[in-house]
Amino acid sequence: MFAKRTQEVEPFLAMEVMERGMAMARAGTPIVQLGVGEPNFDAPPAAVQAAVDSLVSGETHYTDSRGLFVLREAIAQDCEKRRGVAVDPDRVVVTSGTSPAILLCLNLLVDPGDEVILATPHYPCYPNMIAACGGKTVLVPTGPDDGFVMDVTKVRAAITPRTRAIFLASPANPTGAVQPKEVVEELSSLGIPILSDEIYGGLTYDGAHVTSPMGLTDHCYLLDGFSKRYAMTGFRLGYLIAPEVAMRPLQSLMQSFFISTSQFVQQAGIAALAHGAAQVEHMRQQYAIRRRILVDGLRDMGLSIPIDPPGAFYALVDMRHFERDSLTLSFDILDKAHVATGPGRDFGEAAEGFIRFSFATSREDIEEGLRRLARALPEL
């Protein structure tokens, strides 16, 4: 028998669509991949070289569980540069991706039966990780009509004595929404720990400005990583920045769960922070172009996209009029248009009937995907 909480962990449906797409590709039907949030860019060459040099020089051992001090220092400096908030490197823990950073913070804060508030549509792994800690996800809906902005009155109403944390994801997956400054300020004033997932920080368009709760509250747990901004998904490198009082228990959790993050990967992170800025800006500009091509192309087909996504690299498309559940629709799009997409259901009930399209893939693939979709639309 398996633990009950594993039954609450849902499969990631975009991966299921992708995997069927891969099987179709192996059988000779090439698929255009607009489903997953995987940048098609190469990692910064300086990061690759640093990882190679590190391995060749024999850096294949454990490090301090919190990460190499030089990297934690560089992350603290990056935080000050990007958010205007100075932090002590001793408040940083380096992890193998942002995902373990989220899991560490939830393990720190959540006892069985405790509650975590989450705006929905949401990144599917949050409730799964909350469930893995025995916690309960309390969803606060956001919708297309209000640009997926969080309603703080609804958040306040959702707070109970068992509330242990509020997730803030800005820019968000799957909507691309950026939460306005006032919303972040109000959330920060509630006196409840804010888990601020800033993995898409820096990936914004049309001058959208992201406000971080870092510096606005002493209860901010900042979650970030190199996967999206630096196109380093496969390196598995992320970090958290937490309040000073949380550091000792977080360190113990890190030691027990993961021991430390790979040394050569941490060296790659140091190099990315030191030399990657120009490439990060180049990628952002390319995403901005791809975003226009994708969003305009879908709208030209008569499809409705409630907001021009101000951040991240996803467009959440309202396809409720196709009157099919989003997983069936996503498979139909795969079968008829040979385009892989992300079914809205992945992101909660609030996104049912929506389909997520990613513009992290190449411009050519986006254009080809649009052509295929336009041809298949009458059949759908």
HSE of 77, CA atoms in CB hemisphere, 13 A? 9
| CA dist., res. 377 & res. 380, Å (int) | 5
| Residue of 324, 346, 333 whose CA lies nearest to 14 | 346
Strand 92-95 vs strand 238-241: parallel, antiparallel, or unpaired? antiparallel
To ligand PLP, the closest distance from the beta carbon of 250 in angstroms equals 17
DSSP assignment of 20-65, as one string?
HHHHHHHTT---EE-SS----SPPPHHHHHHHHHHHHTT--S---T
Q: Which residues of 264-285 are buried (b: 16+ CB within 10 A; e: fewer)?
A: bbbbbbbbbbeebeebbeebee
- Are 220 and 245 a contacting pair, CB within 8 Å? no
Residue number, 93 or 370, with CB nearest to ligand PLP: 93
To ligand PLP, the closest distance from the beta carbon of 258 in angstroms equals 13
To ligand PLP, the closest distance from the beta carbon of 27 in angstroms equals 28
To ligand PLP, the closest distance from the beta carbon of 376 in angstroms equals 27
Residue number, 126 or 331, with CB nearest to ligand PLP: 126
To ligand PLP, the closest distance from the beta carbon of 123 in angstroms equals 4
| Residue of 79, 59, 51 whose CA lies nearest to 212 | 79
To ligand PLP, the closest distance from the beta carbon of 11 in angstroms equals 15
Residue number, 87 or 199, with CB nearest to ligand PLP: 199
Residue number, 197 or 346, with CB nearest to ligand PLP: 197
DSSP assignment of 190-227, as one string?
TSS-EEEE-TTTT-B-TT--PPPSBTTBTTEEEEEEST
The residues binding ligand PLP (CB under 6 A) are 37, 97-99, 123, 169, 173, 197, 199, 225, 227, 233, 238
Residue number, 95 or 370, with CB nearest to ligand PLP: 95
Residue number, 119 or 337, with CB nearest to ligand PLP: 119
Residue number, 238 or 369, with CB nearest to ligand PLP: 238
Residue number, 95 or 267, with CB nearest to ligand PLP: 95
* CA 220 to chain CA centroid, nearest Å: 18
Q: Would you put residue 67 in left (φ > 0), alpha (ψ -120 to 50) or beta?
A: left
- Are 333 and 339 a contacting pair, CB within 8 Å? yes
To ligand PLP, the closest distance from the beta carbon of 375 in angstroms equals 30
| Residue of 226, 320, 338 whose CA lies nearest to 272 | 226
- Are 269 and 118 a contacting pair, CB within 8 Å? no
HSE of 349, CA atoms in CB hemisphere, 13 A? 5
Joined together, the tokens standing for residue 36 give 């997953």
To ligand PLP, the closest distance from the beta carbon of 225 in angstroms equals 4
To ligand PLP, the closest distance from the beta carbon of 107 in angstroms equals 16
- Are 317 and 93 a contacting pair, CB within 8 Å? no
To ligand PLP, the closest distance from the beta carbon of 105 in angstroms equals 12
Query: Measured in Å, how far apart are the chain's first and last C-alpha atoms?
Result: 42
Residue number, 115 or 198, with CB nearest to ligand PLP: 198
Residue number, 37 or 44, with CB nearest to ligand PLP: 37
